[in-house]
Chain A
Amino acid sequence: MNEQYLHHFTVVMLLCFISVAHAANSDPIIGGTLIFGRGGDSIGLDPGHEEDGESFKVCENIYDTLVQYKDESTEVEPGLAESWETSDDGLTWRFHLRKGVAFHDGTPFNADAVLFSLNRQHDPNHPFHNVGGPYIYWSHTGLAEIVDTITALDVYTIQITLKRPYAPFIYTIAMTPFSIVSPNALRKWKEDFTNHPVGTGPFKFARWDRGDKVVLEVNKDYWGGRAPLDRIIFRSIPDNSVRLIELQNGSIHAMEFPNPDDLPQIREDPALQIIEQPGMNVGYLAMNMDKKPLDTLKVRLAVNHAINKHDIITHLYQGMGVPAKNPIPPTMWSYDDSIEEYTYSPEKAKQLLNDAGYPNGFDTTLWALPVPRPYIPDGQALAAAIQSDLRRVGINAKIVTFDWGTYLAKIKNGEHDMAMLGWSADLGDPDNFFYYLLSSEAAQKPAGNIAFYRSDEMQEILVQAQSITDQAKRTELYKKAQAIFHRDMPWVPLAHAKQIVIINKKVQNLKLHPTTWKYFRQIWLEE
C-alpha cells in the first residue's frame, strides 16, 4: 500500500517537474545579443572551400543544406529539400525542394541555386569551379569520385546520380560544406564571396573583423521560423584562461574549450553551467609504419603496453574524456565493446621489445599536438606524460612540435615517427573514421592515414561496407574492421573527449549536437 502511495507521489512529482520544465522551455524570449567566445577565428565563410570547425560553426547559421541532422541525433530530416527518394539500386537520388524560400539577398531559392552550389564543386567545366580555391570536402569525402551527374528535373526537383552505391550518401550531403549558396551573390563577389556570404539560413551575415569577431543578424523570414536571438557575435579569444575570465565577468555568454584544470572552479561558480555530452571523436598517437622500428607489430604492441593510458587520461582530461581502445567512439554505431584493450604493463612491453630485437629500446620522435583540440586539450602535457612512460621501458622519445599549419603539413607528408592527432566526426557513420584514417587509399601523401597503415584486408572490408546499405551487414563489417585494427595496432588510441560548452545561466535551451554546431538557432537569453 505504502509503496503504491509512494509510487503515485513520485509520478505526481515527476509530472510537476516535467510541466515546470516544459513551461520554461516552451516560450522563448525574443531578442538579445549572444556573445560566444571561441578559440580561433574562421578561415573563410564560403562553406564549399572550408575544412575547419571554426569556419563551419559560423557557416551553419548562414546556410542550409538539402537535408540536415536532427537535434541531438545523427539521423537526417528535411532541410531545403522537403522530401527525397532513392532508386532500388541506390544510384539515383531525387530531392523535392522547399517552395517559397528566399536567400538573404532577396533572390529566390530553386533548383538553379542547388545546381549552381553543387556543380561548382563537382563539374570541372563549371565557370566557378576554379574560383576561390579547391573544394576540399567534395574530394575528401569521395563525392568527387562517387557522384556522376547533378541535374534539375524541374524548377523544384533535383536528381543526383552516383557511379557506385554509397551507403552514407544522404548523411554526407547533409554536411555544411555542401550548403546551398546564393548564385547571385557569388556571381557578384566571386573570390570575395568568402567575406560576403549569402545563404538561406536562420541568420544573416552582418560583419566580420578578422581575428576579432563575426557578427550575424537574425533572418526574420526564415522558412523554419525566426530564431529567438536578434544577433550572435562570435568572438575569437585564443587563450583558454582569458576566455574563462571574460565569461565570469559577463562580457561573453558562452565559451568552448576550457582548460580541464579550470573545471572545478567553473563548477563552483553559481553563475555558470557546464553543458556536456559524449563527443564523436578520437584522439590518437599514430605510429608511422613506414619508419623503423615501428613497422614491427611487436614494437607497436610494446608502445601500447608501455603507456599508462588510464591514469594519464583520467588526470590530464579531468573528466573531459574517456580512454579509447577502438578507432571509433562508443557513441558510434557498430562500436565493438568486446575488444580487449592492451593494458598498461611495462614488463610486457619490455618483453615484447626484447622479442622484437630491441632489448635496450630505441630512439624515436614523439610529435606533440601544438594547439588545444577537443580530443587532446593539451598536447604538450600529454606528450610529456607519454615520453616519461616510454622512457621507463627504454624507448627514448624526443618531443617535437611546430606551429599548427606546419605540423599538419609535415605529418601528412609522413615526416614523423609517432604523432598525435585526432578526428571529430562530420557525420554519424563509421566510414567517416575508418576510410579517412585507416584505408590504404588515405595513406597516399598528403595522407589522412598518418600511420601509413596499408592492409589489403582492411581496404577490402571498408570498400565493401561503403557499397552496401544494409545496416546490420555494415555493422558486421565494421566490427571486423575493429578486430583487424586491434590485431595490427597502427595507433595508440588515446581518448574520446566530451563535447563541452560553458554557459552563463542566462543562456537557455542550448542543446549540443554530436557533429554540428547548429544549436545557436534555438538559444534564447533570459533577462
Chain B
Amino acid sequence: MKEHRRQVYRALIRQKSAVIGASILIFFILAAIFAPLVATHDPREADVISRLKGWSKEHYFGTDKVGRDIFSRIVYGSRISIKIGVVAMTFSISLGTSLGIIAGYYGGWLDNVIMRVMDMMLALPSILLAMVIVTILGQSLTNVIIAVSIVYIPQYARILRASVLIIREQEYVMAARVIGASDLRILTTAVLPNCLAPLIVQATLGMGAAILDAAGLSFLGLGAEVGEPEWGAMLNENRALIRRAPWTVMTPGIAIFLIVLGFNLLGDALRDVLDPQVQT
C-alpha cells in the first residue's frame, strides 16, 4: 500500500498540470490561512474618498465602489471559498458515499429507491436545484453550503454504487464473507478502500464545481450576506462598473477562474494517475 502511494505520488509530480494545479491551490490555501497577515487592509473597511482607485502600491488590486481594498477582499474571500468547497464536499461525499455503498452492496428494492431519488435530483440542473434549496432555507452562507452539498450527493452515490457493484463480486470480498466478517467490516475494510481512486478524482473536481456554484449563488444575490468579501458577491456588487472600473469585476472573476482551474487541473491529473484504464 505504501509503495503504491509512493508510485502515485511520483507519477503525479511528473504531470505538469498536476504541479500547476497544486501550486495554485497551495497559493490560495496559504492566503486563506494567513489572511490577516497577507491582507493590507480590513476587507470590510469602506473609505469613500478613495473609491474606484486603480492598481497602486497602496491598493494592489485597486478599490471598489465604496473604497474597500480589493486585494484584501480577495484574500479574505479565499477563506470563504475554500471553506465552502471543503465543507460542502465533505458533507456530500459522506452522504453520497454512504448512500452509494448501501445501494450497491445490498441491491434490491433499497438500491431502486435510493437510485431513483438520485436520478430525480440529477434531472434538475445543479444551480437551479441549489437556488430552490437556498430560497426555501433562506439567504446565508451556511445555507449555500447545505444547498451545494445536497446538489452534489447524487454524483458520489452513482460513482460509489458503480464501483461497489464490481467490487462486491471480487474474490477477496467473498473470502471476507466466508470467514464470517460482518457487513460493516466488509464495507469499511474491503469495499471502501478500493473505491477510493474514483472518489478522490471526483472530490477534487467537485470542489471546484462547488466553489463555482456557490459563487454563482452569491452573484445572484442568494449567497453571502451583503458586504461580505465573497468573490461571486463582489462580482455582482460591481457589475454595473464594468466599463468605468473594470478591475473591480475582473479581479474576483480571475480569482474564481484560478481556483476552479487549480482544482480541475489537479483533478484531471489525479484521474490520469489513478485510473488504470487511462494509464499507459
Asked if A85 is at the interface of the complex by the 8 Å CB criterion, the answer is no
The listed residue (A240, A378, A385) touching B46 by CB distance below 8 A is A385
The listed residue (A261, A312, A314) touching B240 by CB distance below 8 A is A261
Asked if A477 is at the interface of the complex by the 8 Å CB criterion, the answer is no
Q: How far is the CA of A387 from the CA of B68 in the complex (A)?
A: 12
Interface contact B240-A399, CB-CB below 8 Å: no
Asked if A384 is at the interface of the complex by the 8 Å CB criterion, the answer is yes
Docked complex: B113-152 residues within 8 A CB-CB of A: none
Interface contact B44-A261, CB-CB below 8 Å: no
Asked if B65 is at the interface of the complex by the 8 Å CB criterion, the answer is yes
Docked complex: A372-429 residues within 8 A CB-CB of B: 378, 380-381, 383-385, 387-389, 391, 398-401
Asked if A259 is at the interface of the complex by the 8 Å CB criterion, the answer is yes
Interface contact A241-B242, CB-CB below 8 Å: yes
Interface contact A387-B227, CB-CB below 8 Å: yes
Interface contact B244-A312, CB-CB below 8 Å: no
Asked if B245 is at the interface of the complex by the 8 Å CB criterion, the answer is yes
Contacts of B226 in A (CB 8 A): 368, 380, 383-384, 399-401
Asked if A265 is at the interface of the complex by the 8 Å CB criterion, the answer is yes
Say whether, besides A241-B242, A241-B243, A384-B68, A315 and B51 are in contact (CB < 8 Å).
yes
Q: How far is the CA of A423 from the CA of B65 in the complex (A)?
A: 25
Contacts of B45 in A (CB 8 A): 388, 391
Contacts of A460 in B (CB 8 A): none
Q: How far is the CA of A261 from the CA of B242 in the complex (A)?
A: 11
Interface contact B44-A388, CB-CB below 8 Å: yes
Asked if B175 is at the interface of the complex by the 8 Å CB criterion, the answer is no
Q: How far is the CA of A401 from the CA of B139 in the complex (A)?
A: 10
Interface contact A259-B240, CB-CB below 8 Å: yes
A3 to chain B, nearest CB (A): 45
Contacts of B243 in A (CB 8 A): 241, 262, 265
Contacts of A378 in B (CB 8 A): 65
Q: At the interface, is chain A mostly helix, strand, loop or mixed?
A: helix
Q: How far is the CA of A311 from the CA of B50 in the complex (A)?
A: 11
A411 to chain B, nearest CB (A): 16
Docked complex: A236-282 residues within 8 A CB-CB of B: 239-241, 259, 261-262, 265
Q: How far is the CA of A388 from the CA of B47 in the complex (A)?
A: 8
Docked complex: B50-86 residues within 8 A CB-CB of A: 51-52, 65-68
Interface size in chain B (residues, C-beta < 8 A): 23
Contacts of A259 in B (CB 8 A): 240-241, 244
Interface contact B65-A381, CB-CB below 8 Å: yes
- Hey, what's the 0/1 contact readout for B230-264 against A, CB within 8 Å counting as 1? 00000001001111110000000000000000000
Asked if A316 is at the interface of the complex by the 8 Å CB criterion, the answer is yes
Q: How far is the CA of A384 from the CA of B237 in the complex (A)?
A: 11
Asked if B181 is at the interface of the complex by the 8 Å CB criterion, the answer is no
Interface contact B66-A311, CB-CB below 8 Å: no
- In the complex formed, the residue of A with least CB distance to B48 is A315
Interface size in chain A (residues, C-beta < 8 A): 28
Interface contact A261-B244, CB-CB below 8 Å: yes
- In the complex formed, the residue of B with least CB distance to A382 is B66
Q: How far is the CA of A388 from the CA of B226 in the complex (A)?
A: 12
Interface contact B242-A385, CB-CB below 8 Å: no
Contacts of B49 in A (CB 8 A): 311, 315
Interface contact A385-B66, CB-CB below 8 Å: yes
Contacts of B65 in A (CB 8 A): 261, 316, 378, 381
Asked if B275 is at the interface of the complex by the 8 Å CB criterion, the answer is no
- In the complex formed, the residue of B with least CB distance to A316 is B48
- Hey, what's the 0/1 contact readout for B198-241 against A, CB within 8 Å counting as 1? 00000000000000000000000100011100000000010011
Contacts of B66 in A (CB 8 A): 316, 381, 384-385, 388
Docked complex: A155-170 residues within 8 A CB-CB of B: none
Interface contact A385-B48, CB-CB below 8 Å: yes
- In the complex formed, the residue of A with least CB distance to B50 is A315
Residue with the highest number of chain A CB atoms closer than 10 Å, among B44, B240, B244: B240
A377 to chain B, nearest CB (A): 10
Interface contact B244-A399, CB-CB below 8 Å: no
Interface contact A380-B237, CB-CB below 8 Å: yes
Q: How far is the CA of A313 from the CA of B244 in the complex (A)?
A: 19
Contacts of B44 in A (CB 8 A): 384, 387-388, 391
Residue with the highest number of chain A CB atoms closer than 10 Å, among B45, B68, B242, B245: B45
Interface contact B225-A387, CB-CB below 8 Å: no
B67 to chain A, nearest CB (A): 8
Q: How far is the CA of A389 from the CA of B46 in the complex (A)?
A: 8
The listed residue (A311, A384, A389) touching B227 by CB distance below 8 A is A384
- In the complex formed, the residue of B with least CB distance to A241 is B240
Contacts of A388 in B (CB 8 A): 44-47, 66, 68
Q: How far is the CA of A312 from the CA of B48 in the complex (A)?
A: 6
Contacts of A399 in B (CB 8 A): 225-227
Say whether, besides A384-B46, A385-B66, A391-B44, A398 and B225 are in contact (CB < 8 Å).
yes
Contacts of A308 in B (CB 8 A): 48
Contacts of A314 in B (CB 8 A): 48
Interface contact B48-A311, CB-CB below 8 Å: yes
Say whether, besides A261-B65, A380-B237, A381-B65, A387 and B244 are in contact (CB < 8 Å).
no
Contacts of B68 in A (CB 8 A): 384, 388
A181 to chain B, nearest CB (A): 39
A174 to chain B, nearest CB (A): 36
Contacts of A240 in B (CB 8 A): 240
Q: How far is the CA of A401 from the CA of B68 in the complex (A)?
A: 20
Q: How far is the CA of A385 from the CA of B50 in the complex (A)?
A: 12
Q: How far is the CA of A240 from the CA of B243 in the complex (A)?
A: 12
- In the complex formed, the residue of A with least CB distance to B243 is A241
Interface contact B46-A387, CB-CB below 8 Å: yes
B155 to chain A, nearest CB (A): 32
- Hey, what's the 0/1 contact readout for A81-117 against B, CB within 8 Å counting as 1? 0000000000000000000000000000000000000
B122 to chain A, nearest CB (A): 30
Contacts of A384 in B (CB 8 A): 44, 46, 66, 68, 226-227
Known: A241-B242, A380-B227. 17 other contacts (CB 8 A): A241-B243, A261-B241, A265-B243, A311-B49, A315-B67, A316-B65, A380-B226, A383-B226, A383-B227, A384-B46, A384-B227, A385-B66, A385-B67, A387-B227, A391-B44, A398-B225, A399-B225
A and B contact pairs by CB, cutoff 8 A, 27 listed = A240-B240, A241-B240, A259-B240, A259-B241, A261-B240, A261-B244, A265-B243, A265-B244, A311-B48, A311-B49, A312-B48, A315-B48, A315-B51, A316-B51, A316-B65, A316-B66, A368-B226, A380-B237, A384-B68, A385-B66, A385-B67, A387-B44, A387-B227, A388-B44, A388-B47, A400-B225, A401-B226
Q: Which residues of B contact A (CB under 8 A)?
A: 44-49, 51-52, 65-68, 221, 225-227, 237, 240-245
Chain A to chain B: the 10 pairs with minimum beta-carbon distance, closest first: A388-B46, A399-B226, A315-B48, A385-B46, A384-B66, A385-B66, A261-B244, A384-B227, A399-B227, A381-B66
